[in-house]
Structure 1
Amino acid sequence: MKAKAVVSKWIIVFSALTAVQANAEVFENSGYRLDTSVLCDGLPQAPVATLEGLCVGVLAGKKEGFKMPRYAVQSKEGVIYVTEMGGWAFGRGTVYAVYRGKDSSGVEKTAVVNLFPTKKLTMPNGIIIDPEGRLYVGTPTAVVRFQPRDPKTGQFNIDTATEVVVNDFAQSIFRKGEYASAGSYNALENRLKNKHPLIQMAANRDFTEMYINVGAPSDDCGSGIKTIDENGKCIQSESALASAAVWKVTLSNDTQRKAVRVIPFSRGLRNSMALTVHPISGLVLQGENGLDLPDEERPYEELNILEEGKHYGWPYCHSRGEVAPGFKNKVTGEMCAKNFALPKIFMPAHTAPLGLLYYKGELLPQLKNKLLVGWHGYQKYGQRIVAYPVDELGTPTDSQYQEVVFGWKAQEGVRPRGAPTGLTALNDGSVLVLDDKNGALLRISSGKKADEISEDPSKSHISEKTLQAFEPLVPLVKKNCAMCHSQFQKATAKEMVLEMKGTMLNLSSPAESSFWLRMKAKEMPPEMIRPTLNFHDKDFDEVLPKVEAFINTLQK
């Protein structure tokens, strides 16, 4: 008999605390310094900047076991279900059930239940819920579904069987066999691995249409199995089994929700992690993550209105009709304007939109009837949540955005750098924000915004010994890391180290610094981009002793 966990009948999701604890304490969760006397609608308030009248509370984080949470949904009963990737690896992921209520002592707490403690999932990412209460989870090989709770008893189903809803996209030459087992995944040559394997999903209001992101296997069609055909076209976006596309699944309009038609809907889309369907009009909106060009201002990210059969330009074109570097001799700016659908809105470069949400709630009037976008990027325009005006059909009407959560840069001992992924409207009108870099579940609610915390000038001091130890690493990080991490785009070693504090460096426990741990585990630079950097496993023999020597200078 399978183990089950029980949700008590007292579930009260996000009940506000009515009294401040008499003996306030300061503690840390997921890098946020939290004062129990300073609350955001019942939760410890995160010290980040927000619009007037809004605040951010920390619902859960690393203390509750989160490492890489990606997206979430909430059931009618109030339970929040969160996909937890567990890392870029085979068979580490799960789905957590999260709820809030009072324990036997009357203390308000967050409860977290692991739904797949032994039967792990591989890279679970997108998650949606149907009217029958079943969860749909996107994995690299299929969209699967399962019933998370027994409808009669309210017990969670632990390690339950999953049913494949659709896996047509996985038959593509770009995915076949790669995720069949841990052995096949680990043995595949790096240059052939899919660079955007995560599956995202969105559904229409009556759950008869589901849209699925199938990301491009490469950054620019320059690597992977089969790239350019004899006519100079990118096979990855042009084939019948298109990757670099959003697929449409038509579901039966009954409780069975069977897939009756599966097609590539829109193509030429590099990676559609930001994907949503307007609840009234059914308009499909996509946030495009553009090419990884070294230019700080290019390419622009995009908001696209998706239509069946249209091509949106990847990998040939970007920004305002500019030709991508790999296609200068095959494509012209005129072809970019004529042959491909144009974005509705351009967003700043390298913002990496990973979450879209049409906000319809009443709790946050500042955001009502606006489109929220989570910018996950680490470069200068990233690490924030913004709002765009939209019309009654959900079409963005202006490229001018309003900052909702901002000032989210790392500040040592105060907060980490923000990295929002999923945005979820909760039943009470608040907004759940997932942060995969810091393992945090955050909640935007109504309340007094956080006070500004001035940086301690003493923390800007870096010893000469530390700077001397980092100098040999400067050319290495500029070459191999700066594309993804803005810290390494700074001009000097001192500026780089200052930017690393509070994010990559843990000064209170240097040996636990992510910069050191990820290098030691050979996770940075990521395997998928090493071929383009001409970085090989043997290069770690040269790099690691230098990184360790640098980390040792931070020891007190």
Structure 2
Amino acid sequence: MHVRHLLILACLMLPLSAQAAERCPQTAPAGMHVLPGLCAEIIASGLKMPRGLAILPDGKLLLTEMTRWDAPQGRLLQLERKNGNWQQTVLLTGLDRPHGVVQGPDGKIYVGEVGRIIRFDLAAPQQRETVISLPLRQRHPLTTFALAANGDLYVNIGSSSDNCENAAPAEQASGRCPESEQDRAGVVWRYHIDNNGKVSDLGVFARGLRNSMALGVHPRSGILLQAENSRDAIQLKLQLPNDNELPHDELNLLQAGKHYGWPFCYDKQVAAPEFPAYDCSQTTPPYRLLPAHAAPLGLTWWLGPKAAPRFAGWLIVGFHGYRQHGHRLMAYPTDRQGLPTGQGLELISNWKDSKGPGGPVEIRAGADGALYITEDRHGQLIRLYAQP
């Protein structure tokens, strides 16, 4: 009898699911499994490695295209909705692997290139200037950042190695990593931009961070969250079959002056095999562990009066990884500060089609209540919103 009841329930659910899907104006992109109650649509396609995204007060979108990894051929696009369609305008070309983009308190647009941050006025985009010069890194050269309401700009300066494998054996044996000691890699740097556009260098904000591609400042509480892309190939030192589940990626609550472990520690203050004698108790543990090699590249909070009611205020994190825990969009309930408090829920799961896994990068919440997501593997800009 119990099995019969389950079959009846399953049959009843089928038409309900079909009706729910029909309420979305457009079919979800191929291979994208969207949580019931949400709709997804492609608003731009044919993009060339879209990465950074900013939403301007007038609703226009700014989007960076890296285009390729081996040449400065990146672009900055502006997208504007007119008569139900999104029209594209190219603002800048010839950029060196651009990533982060934001409108500063002075009204100018700031774009992160490899080794620098430039800015310009929207009325004259070709008259751009370099306002911040950054150290060049080999392994993680991309520049992304998060802007706080008070004008502080937190900038990722990723590591130049995987786990300081470039250090000499004697340096590793003594628990040293010269790369991290120089504060030119594996840190988050802080600058300040005032309303007149003056940029001040406030120095290193936090250390021990291998690659802080996902950075976000909560607009109300001001907390700074970072999602860490942890190291690779730990199995070679630990003599494991693979590194599919180790080490975990991390979600860190960044605070001034703290050290978050890289390259000496991983997971919850566990000494790295290259630095077995390191005292990890002096480092700050992750606020939360994320799945191994999920590769979080973007995060935001689903805020605003029109946000999907079920997820209003939730933390949204994009998992870019191509391995088993990647290619999905996660949502976490939060407290009043914006810190996650419960288990994550997949808004988009197992995002994969015949061309391969999806690759969510930047996520932004629009005034229309939708989430806007850049996806670089298929060259798309996605709009995710509550079902009408």
1:10-25 superposed matches below 5 A: none
Please report how far the alpha carbon of residue 302 of structure 1 lies from its aligned counterpart in structure 2 after TM superposition: 0.7
CA distances 1:73-111 after superposition (whole Å, capped 9, x unpaired): 111112100010011123111101112212xxxxx4321
CA distances 1:375-402 after superposition (whole Å, capped 9, x unpaired): 001111111001112111122223x211
Match in the other structure for 1:386: 330
Of 15, 28, 42, 1:45 maps to 28
In 2: Cα distance, 1:259 partner to 1:231 partner = 39
TM-score by length of 1: 0.61
Of 318, 324, 348, 2:266 maps to 318
Q: SS at the partner of 1:144? A: strand
Q: SS at the partner of 2:274? A: helix
1:297 aligns with 2:278: no
Aligned partner letter, 1:50: V
1:350 aligns with 2:293: yes
Higher helix share: 1
Please report how far the alpha carbon of residue 244 of structure 1 lies from its aligned counterpart in structure 2 after TM superposition: 0.2
CA contact (8 A) 1:344 1:396 kept: no
In 2: Cα distance, 1:257 partner to 1:132 partner = 5
1:363-378 superposed matches below 5 A: 363-378=307-322
1:421 aligns with 2:364: no
1:278 aligns with 2:218: yes
Q: SS at the partner of 2:227? A: strand
TM-score by length of 2: 0.87
Match in the other structure for 2:41: 57
CA contact (8 A) 1:139 1:199 kept: yes
Of 229, 246, 253, 2:188 maps to 246
Match in the other structure for 1:135: 109
In 1: Cα distance, 2:82 partner to 2:168 partner = 50
Of 103, 112, 124, 2:88 maps to 112
Q: Assess, with a 3 A threshold, how the Cα gap between structure 1 residues 200 and 132 changes in structure 2: closer, same or farther.
A: same
In 2: Cα distance, 1:408 partner to 1:290 partner = 22
Q: SS at the partner of 2:80? A: strand
Please report how far the alpha carbon of residue 114 of structure 1 lies from its aligned counterpart in structure 2 after TM superposition: 1.2
CA distances 1:533-552 after superposition (whole Å, capped 9, x unpaired): xxxxxxxxxxxxxxxxxxxx
Aligned partner letter, 1:96: L
CA contact (8 A) 2:28 2:34 kept: no
Match in the other structure for 1:214: 157
Q: Assess, with a 3 A threshold, how the Cα gap between structure 1 residues 81 and 407 changes in structure 2: closer, same or farther.
A: same
Question: Greater Rg, structure 1 or structure 2?
Answer: 1
Q: SS at the partner of 1:236? A: helix
CA contact (8 A) 1:221 1:228 kept: no
Aligned partner letter, 1:162: R
Aligned partner letter, 2:121: Q
CA contact (8 A) 1:433 1:441 kept: yes
1:198 aligns with 2:142: yes
Match in the other structure for 2:200: 260
CA distances 1:392-428 after superposition (whole Å, capped 9, x unpaired): 1122223x21111113122x3xx74211000011121
In 1: Cα distance, 2:112 partner to 2:129 partner = 12
Match in the other structure for 2:69: 88
In 1: Cα distance, 2:121 partner to 2:199 partner = 18
CA contact (8 A) 2:328 2:348 kept: yes
Please report how far the alpha carbon of residue 242 of structure 1 lies from its aligned counterpart in structure 2 after TM superposition: 3.1
1:230-245 superposed matches below 5 A: 231-239=174-182, 241-245=183-187
Match in the other structure for 1:551: none
Match in the other structure for 2:341: 397
Q: SS at the partner of 1:72? A: strand
Q: Assess, with a 3 A threshold, how the Cα gap between structure 1 residues 303 and 314 changes in structure 2: closer, same or farther.
A: same
CA distances 1:126-174 after superposition (whole Å, capped 9, x unpaired): 11112443211111211111112x3xxxxxx45x12122222x32xxxx
Please report how far the alpha carbon of residue 365 of structure 1 lies from its aligned counterpart in structure 2 after TM superposition: 1.3
In 2: Cα distance, 1:285 partner to 1:129 partner = 20
Please report how far the alpha carbon of residue 446 of structure 1 lies from its aligned counterpart in structure 2 after TM superposition: 2.1
CA contact (8 A) 1:242 1:264 kept: no
Q: Assess, with a 3 A threshold, how the Cα gap between structure 1 residues 56 and 225 changes in structure 2: closer, same or farther.
A: farther
Q: SS at the partner of 1:115? A: strand
Aligned partner letter, 1:163: E
Instruction: Point out 4+ residue stretches in structure 1 off by more than 6 angstroms.
Output: 224-227
In 1: Cα distance, 2:270 partner to 2:345 partner = 27
1:144 aligns with 2:87: no
In 1: Cα distance, 2:351 partner to 2:289 partner = 22
Please report how far the alpha carbon of residue 308 of structure 1 lies from its aligned counterpart in structure 2 after TM superposition: 1.0
The number of residue pairs the alignment matches comes to 358
CA contact (8 A) 1:227 1:234 kept: no
Q: Assess, with a 3 A threshold, how the Cα gap between structure 1 residues 87 and 301 changes in structure 2: closer, same or farther.
A: same
Q: CA RMSD in A?
A: 2.3
1:306 aligns with 2:260: no
Aligned partner letter, 2:140: H
Q: Assess, with a 3 A threshold, how the Cα gap between structure 1 residues 401 and 228 changes in structure 2: closer, same or farther.
A: same
CA distances 1:229-250 after superposition (whole Å, capped 9, x unpaired): 78431122222x3310001112
In 1: Cα distance, 2:316 partner to 2:251 partner = 12
Q: SS at the partner of 1:237? A: helix
In 2: Cα distance, 1:38 partner to 1:216 partner = 47
In 2: Cα distance, 1:227 partner to 1:101 partner = 62
Aligned partner letter, 1:327: F
In 2: Cα distance, 1:309 partner to 1:345 partner = 19
CA contact (8 A) 2:105 2:193 kept: no
Larger RCO of the pair (alpha carbons < 8 Å, separation 6+): 2
Q: Assess, with a 3 A threshold, how the Cα gap between structure 1 residues 379 and 72 changes in structure 2: closer, same or farther.
A: same
Q: Structure 2 unaligned runs (5+)?
A: 1-20, 234-241
Match in the other structure for 2:12: none
Higher strand share: 2
Please report how far the alpha carbon of residue 221 of structure 1 lies from its aligned counterpart in structure 2 after TM superposition: 0.7
- Once the two structures are overlaid, the 10-residue window that deviates more, 130-139 or 229-238, is 229-238
Aligned partner letter, 2:81: R
Match in the other structure for 2:377: 437
In 1: Cα distance, 2:375 partner to 2:170 partner = 33
CA contact (8 A) 2:187 2:208 kept: yes
Aligned partner letter, 2:157: V
Q: Structure 1 unaligned runs (5+)?
A: 1-36, 103-107, 151-156, 176-192, 449-556
